[in-house]
Structure 1
Amino acid sequence: MADGRIIKTEGKVGGIVIKDDWPGYRLDLFTYPEHYSGDLECVYIPHGIIMDRTERLARNIMDDLGDHDIVVLCVLKGGYQFCADLVEFIKALSRNSNKSLLMRVDFIRLKSYLNDQSTEDLHIIGAEDLSVLNGKNVLIVEAIVDTGKTMKALLKHVEKFRPKMVKVAGLLVKRVPNGVGSLPDYVGFEIPNRFVVGYALDYNEYFRDLNHICVISEKGKIKYKI
């Protein structure tokens, strides 16, 4: 992915752009659970690159929000791994710099996908417990933003609890033709409109146990379709 024809850096806000013609890495170059043999097309973003980029995002967040108290709002289920790693990097920076970021972590669960399609029916689970956000600096941590409809609805809901400030960290942002709303404040990677799994991202609850972010194959979609 160091090939400049495939990926380029667009600065802190835009993240790393993966171009439409990026084919990914061959599966035989990496290790992954044998039970997913035949269910994946390629390794799209290797685990090591995810971790390096997450560490950079942690540094950006520390630069912007250091010496503040924040509530980290992790969007489940897909965001749990990204959130855990991001928080660990922020904790390490707090221990080893002259800035400190006091964090409380809370969780909310969103469900809007059926198979590989986003639906209009958004379920927010845990929404009744968000009174803790009142008057607080909030960092929403989400694994993937595609059309932006889900994030737009969540932001509207969070604002009802009158937080002092709201920032969003998104590991992945998809380029989709019907996108709405603005980009997250902190973006890991901007990717083409392909259905990806792994690093806690799922397809009907499968593939969360992949370390890498991979593209699911058509065989995999059929195998785990509900």
Structure 2
Amino acid sequence: MMAVEQDRRARNVRLASGDAFSRRDPFVIGDQLSFPLDMFSVPHHYKGDVKEIMIPHGLVIDRIQKLAKDIRHDYADTTIHLLCVLKGGSAYFQDLITALRRFHDHADHSYVPFTFDFIKVKSYKGVSSTGSVQITGGDLAALEGKNVLVVEDIIDTGLTMESLLPVLEARGANSVRVTSLLEKRTELSSGFRGHYVGFSIPDKFVVGYCLDFNEFFRDMDHICVISDRGIERFTEETRG
């Protein structure tokens, strides 16, 4: 209940540009909610490497379809410039634009519904924040006058988004908002909240659906909690 109330208090999100926007509440995954591994298909090569399924793939897709509907409703007759944060955000981005296209295929629009680009963002070195954000890829000069919607996989501490958004606003974007598939409830949070968030999740290390641990697990459909064995195994794999 406390996590739900925290999310409700954070509904009104104000960006540095002064864009006030009432955020839509995410679906809250309870601290103890999980799905048994033997009830779903998990790749054999990850057997023993995940502890539980937090969000099955089908639920992920259904939720994304609702997010696409909310986004299209709120932006009305406006072209959205989707800015996907790689690599983690790529699966969410692909399924989001698939859902958006379904709306556009059955509508008579006289404007371009969306455009998109890709960036990579780094604001940490090791486990410590560098205090600045490094952006590679994408044409930031082309953001001027556009309504930018950043597409992210997970908002953890929120520090990356807090660093990124002012940079995008400084490029002359008309508005900058954030959609994230996941938003973690953690004591390390800076308080940043996304505008369109799929799920509010417990403070657990999740993998799958393009979320990785040392580049592994991106090929798994479900969003799962990594096991101690998985951490140990793929730490050793990385070491060679």
TM-score range, shorter chain: 0.7 to 0.9
* Equivalent residue for 1:157, pick from 167, 174, 196: 167
RMSD of aligned alpha carbons: 2.3
Is 1:138 matched up with 2:148?
A: yes
Corresponding residue SS for 2:24:
helix
Give 1:95-106 correspondences, 5 Å limit. Answer: 95-97=105-107, 102-106=113-117
| 2:204 is the counterpart of 1:194 | yes
1:66–1:101 Cα contact (<8 Å) kept: no
Determine if the alignment matches structure 1 residue 89 to structure 2 residue 95.
no
The residue identity in structure 1 corresponding to 2:115 is: R
Residues in 2 aligned to 1:189 and 1:128: alpha-carbon distance in whole angstroms: 27
Q: Any unmatched runs of 5+ in structure 2? A: 12-22
Distance in 1 between residues matched to 2:168 and 2:229, nearest whole Å: 38
TM-score (norm 2): 0.83
Q: Report the residue type matching 1:21 in the other structure.
A: Q
Q: Is the 8 A contact 2:118 2:138 kept in 1?
A: no
Provide, for residues 19-68 of structure 1, a one-character-per-residue CA deviation record: whole Å limited to 9, x for no partner. 1122x111111112111111000111000000000000000001011311
The structure 2 residue matched to 1:110, chosen from 97, 116, 121, is 121
> Shift of residue 101 of structure 1?
5.5
- Post-superposition CA distance 1:121-178 (Å, at most 9, x none): 4663425731111110101000100110011111121112010011111100000112
Give the Cα separation in 2 of the matches to 1:96 and 1:128: 30
Partner residue in 2 for 1:19: 30
Return the alpha-carbon distance in structure 2 between the equivalents of residues 41 and 82 of structure 1: 23
* Counterpart-to-counterpart distance in 1, 2:128 and 2:217: 20
Report how many residues are paired: 216
Residue 14 of structure 2 aligns with which residue? Answer: none
Q: Hey, what does 2:16 align to over in structure 1? A: none
Counterpart code for 1:211: D
1:222 aligns to what SS in structure 2? helix
Q: Please report the TM-score for the alignment, with normalisation by the length of structure 1.
A: 0.88
Q: Given that residues 90 and 210 in structure 2 are in contact (C-alpha distance below 8 angstroms), is that contact kept between their aligned partners in structure 1?
A: yes
Cα gap change, 1:175/1:132 in structure 2, threshold over 3 Å: closer, same or farther? same
Equivalent residue, structure 1, for 2:68: 58
Identity %: 42
Q: Any gaps of 5 or more consecutive residues in structure 1? A: 1-6
Match in the other structure for 1:40: 50
Contact 1:145 1:174 in 2 (8 A): yes
Residue type matched to 2:92 in 1? Answer: F
- 1:155-203 superposed Cα distances (whole Å, 9 cap, x missing partner): 1211120100111111000001121143111010000100000000000
- Letter in structure 2 aligned against 1:106: D
| Greater shift in the superposed pair: 179-188 or 68-77 | 179-188
